[in-house]
Structure 1
């Protein structure tokens, strides 16, 4: 893996296979989310999304944490974030975009979660397309315990991943749960030993980057998120039109030839 660039709050690197790795880099605060991290993260995502050679993103955290929630300062300084009306300027915490923007990317996003994944950190992980977690990783959606609401779109994504009853349990209780339960609830794909986490996540991401057509990934991802709230007949009609279009692209011929010739496909970039 080659280092392409280092920003203050987020590290950015790329593998030769076409995977961009974004590492949250505020270990002194367990990578708690703040405007510094938000701006750096969005810039790194934009860079990866625009790069023709990048086909998959992996998001992780450095220093033994994924993201321990929002960075609100200390009890002595939290008042500084309040306006005279008593309102918090939320854009000064999460930045200028909702975390859900990850679902609108053309490229798959894989989360490699090691250490606390709490609050907005949990939302960030859930908005990734696939998640791996290290053994013992702690998860929580403690919004109710902080006098907050289900923030940043978690009320949209969580029920779709785990079902209504489980989502309500996790949101209403704000309880802590660990990687093994997260796996049982199908929030994560696999539980991996901490020292094997990035290796496994990269192995998975690189298999997608090397074997799947970027045009197909972009369309499938858009279909999945858009169709989750739509009518099944509409989804079927859209899929039919998209399928007809895909049959005319060189990606289809390359995919078929690679299959019959028992080789890795050489798909063009987006």
Structure 2
């Protein structure tokens, strides 16, 4: 299993373009002081007005930092559950939610927590402030270039949640573990997504992106390569021509273009992003079997390398298994009775 403190050798995050005239650009030569200045350029009132319902809302159980009876306290993310959705917010807005080892530990723990919670049917990952995630944190990158420890800041007190039994080896990677769970994970890309944050977003099952948010790779501009399986992900989603274009040019791609290219499922006005993501999961929770969702998610990812014949034979085996589950009986009876289905939730409770 990949360690939470794997090297984050990525400087692509630092070239951010806001896509709106008059907003500042952050370049790789700038440091943390410039990040603070950049964040200060957006007063709280403007931030909330521009984000609409993407601005942090009222605290719901178990609390924004995960506080609750026996619950761990998170430092760099917010975690809240409002049945049937768990929302994980990357919460370092002054640093454009730049990724740290600590944040990675907390996100993985929070996703595992949502997996175990029967109140949760699906998970939304988003960012606080103006960015989804600006890639790797500059302090971490500086430490790596100076020969420092790559695992610095990892939350050793948070247990790494085990992956489901039978998880394919390909899904036991640094970020591909997002594909291995039993519940749908939505990336609600509210702002800039850059560098190593791009493969993180692409490892989510569904992606909704703000129209004016920007995606960029920037690796070629920094003497790096397509990190964390990004070449594979881009090629599978949009084809080799698009993958090579985005990687070689390091150009900025808006949410609207990402939707046209097939990198995200839809682009939306920023103020509608979180409400749309929530409605999507509420609709799934009201109509679909969580057990079926889990099996279909595993089918899609495990069969990426399979031929049609093996995939068809496996689907027949899984179909026969589904006939013996209570959800099949409930699905048929609710249809015949012209009523909403009542499926069992997945979790430990």
TM-score w.r.t. structure 1 length?
A: 0.91
- 2:136 paired with 1:70: yes
User: What is the rounded CA distance, in whole Å, between the counterparts of 2:61 and 2:266 in structure 1?
Assistant: 27
Counterpart in the other structure of 1:28: 94
Pairwise CA RMSD: 2.0
Q: SS at the partner of 2:212?
A: coil
Is residue 19–residue 209 contact of structure 1 (8 Å, CA) maintained in 2? no
How far the C-alpha of 1:14 sits from its partner, in A, is 1.0
User: What is the rounded CA distance, in whole Å, between the counterparts of 1:165 and 1:94 in structure 2?
Assistant: 37
User: What is the rounded CA distance, in whole Å, between the counterparts of 2:333 and 2:141 in structure 1?
Assistant: 60
Is residue 255–residue 265 contact of structure 1 (8 Å, CA) maintained in 2? yes
Q: SS at the partner of 2:191?
A: coil
How far the C-alpha of 1:258 sits from its partner, in A, is 1.8
How far the C-alpha of 1:81 sits from its partner, in A, is 2.5
> Which residue, out of 235, 246, 267, partners 1:170?
246
Is residue 193–residue 216 contact of structure 2 (8 Å, CA) maintained in 1? yes
Number of residues of Structure 1 aligned to a counterpart in Structure 2: 263
Is residue 30–residue 68 contact of structure 1 (8 Å, CA) maintained in 2? yes
Counterpart in the other structure of 2:80: 13
Is residue 33–residue 93 contact of structure 1 (8 Å, CA) maintained in 2? no
How far the C-alpha of 1:175 sits from its partner, in A, is 1.5
After superposition, the Cα gap between the structure-2 partners of 1:240 and 1:41, relative to the gap in structure 1 and judged at 3 Å, is: same
Q: SS at the partner of 2:62?
A: strand
How far the C-alpha of 1:41 sits from its partner, in A, is 0.7
Counterpart in the other structure of 2:108: 42
Query: Structure 1, residues 22-60: CA drift from partner, whole Å, max 9, x if none?
Result: 000000110011112111111111101111221111110
> Which residue, out of 222, 229, 238, partners 2:298?
222
TM-score w.r.t. structure 2 length?
A: 0.71
User: What is the rounded CA distance, in whole Å, between the counterparts of 2:317 and 2:218 in structure 1?
Assistant: 43
How far the C-alpha of 1:180 sits from its partner, in A, is 1.0
Q: SS at the partner of 1:22?
A: strand
Counterpart in the other structure of 1:189: 265
Q: Please, which runs of 5 or more residues in structure 1 have no aligned partner?
A: none
Bigger Cα displacement from structure 2, 91-100 vs 194-203: 91-100
Higher normalized contact order (CA 8 Å, seq sep 6+, divided by chain length): 2
After superposition, the Cα gap between the structure-2 partners of 1:101 and 1:224, relative to the gap in structure 1 and judged at 3 Å, is: same
Q: Please, which runs of 5 or more residues in structure 2 have no aligned partner?
A: 1-57, 66-73, 161-172
Q: How does 1:51-62 map to 2 (within 5 A)?
A: 51-62=117-128
Q: How does 1:149-164 map to 2 (within 5 A)?
A: 149-164=225-240
Counterpart in the other structure of 2:13: none
> Which residue, out of 151, 171, 188, partners 1:112?
188
How far the C-alpha of 1:205 sits from its partner, in A, is 1.4
Q: How does 1:71-86 map to 2 (within 5 A)?
A: 71-73=137-139, 78-82=141-145, 84=147
Is residue 143–residue 149 contact of structure 2 (8 Å, CA) maintained in 1? no
